[in-house]
Structure formats: C-alpha cells, structure tokens
Amino acid sequence: MSNNTTPRVALVTGASGGIGRAVAARLGAEGMAVGVHYAGNRERAEATADAVNSAGGQSHLVSGDIADENAVSTMFDELESRYGGVDVVVHTAGIMLLSPLTELAFDDFDRMVRTNVRGAFVVSQQAARRVRDGGAIVNFSSSVVKLALPNYGAYAATKGAVDALTLILAKELRGRDITVNTVAPGPTATPLFLDGKSSEAVDAMKKMTPLERLGEPEDIAETVAHLAGPARWINGQIVYANGGII
C-alpha cells in the first residue's frame, strides 16, 4: 500500500485488449487503482475498466499517443490528480508487423520504431520521473529477440531496444527503490499473435514449448503482478514468460 488509505496506483498502457486487459484486471484483483490506457477504441477500454472493477480494483480511463511525450505526461497528470501518485507502470502497448527483412516496407518499419521504441522511451522516461519510491516499471519485449524467428527481424529489433533501455534504466534509478524489468512473452493466444497465422503455424508454435500449448494472457499477467508487487529483489532483468520455449 502507498499509505494507510490509498491503494497502489498503476498505469497500464495498451490495456484495451489482449495481454494489457489481463494485466489490468490482475492488478485490479491485487487491490490497485488502475489507469486503463487506450489509443482509439474506448469501448474496449471500458470493457477492461469493468474487468478491473469486477476484480476488486478501481479504474480510470486515460487516452493518448504513447509516443507523444505531452500526451503521456497528461496521462500521469490525470492519475496523480485523481489518486495522488503512480506506483506501477506496465507498458504493454506495441505493434507487430511481420515480413522478411528484404520485403518490409519502410513505412511499416517506421511505424514499429515509433510505437515500440519511441513509445517505450517516452513512457519509461515519464515513469522514471514520476513513479513513487517503492514502485515498479515493467516494460514488454518478446521472446522472439532470443528465438530469432524468420519474418520477425524488424519487430525483434524494436524489442531488443526495449531490453537495452530497461537494463540501463534500472541502473540509472539507483537509490530510488524502484524496480525496472521487462517481460518477454512467448507465443500467446492474443489477436496480435494469432492474426494472419494458419492453424498449422499455430500448432507448430504450440509444439515449441514443453507444455505444448500457447500462453494465455493470464499467464503473462501473473508474471507482471509478481514484478509489480512482491518481487522487490528482481530488478534489471528480462523475464521470459514463455513456458520453456527455446
């Protein structure tokens, strides 16, 4: 708890669906007040807010372009005004556009760099300035950085940048009692992952893990909840939440 009367406060970017929604709901179940960020689909964000409330937390919708430093600053302003401060930032927002390196359009590459790299930088910068001592910053990467799968080159490159940013920021926050970690999911049953993949491709992905299934958003949310709460001695790490995929 931040004090005797106020719950811990979290901001979850990309909370309107998939992993972001599961994370927001899980933090709500931990008793947190959750800033539910969305970029465009308010209806889906409202469904996430309902899930947070049903789980026992509080919710407040915030919207903005995560790559725009002014928009992100405004989101923090809103949460600080409403709840008094922010303790946890979970940055799940990102996009994935797959293509062989030789065929990827530069417009698509630039979109991923803006959202995945600049967005992570902007959110991490604001979080580092404004998260209360005793808090946690959790970024999102991907196990494909390590797996080096064909067609994932540009996407993996953007997530490799997030890995580097996280490891360095953890050291820069020395003395603040703020942990900084990255969660790197493996294949997870979300629209982002499943879109455009054949059933054969999905089955092949399932076989890559010893558990022979895809991850579920709730699997990832469990890892985030640990890093956001009791895991105070895990810091400056890339946590591979992927069921043992190698």
Is 153 in contact with 111 (CB distance < 8 Å)?
A: no
**Helix, strand, coil distribution of the chain in percent, nearest 5:** 50, 20, 35
Residues 6+ apart with CB under 8 A from 220: 19, 22, 23, 183, 185, 188, 241
Is 9 in contact with 89 (CB distance < 8 Å)?
A: no
155 annotated active-site: yes
- The one catalytic residue among 38, 83, 155, 240: 155
Neighbours of 235 (CB within 10 A): 17
Residue at token pair 């080096």 = 148
Active site amino acids:
155
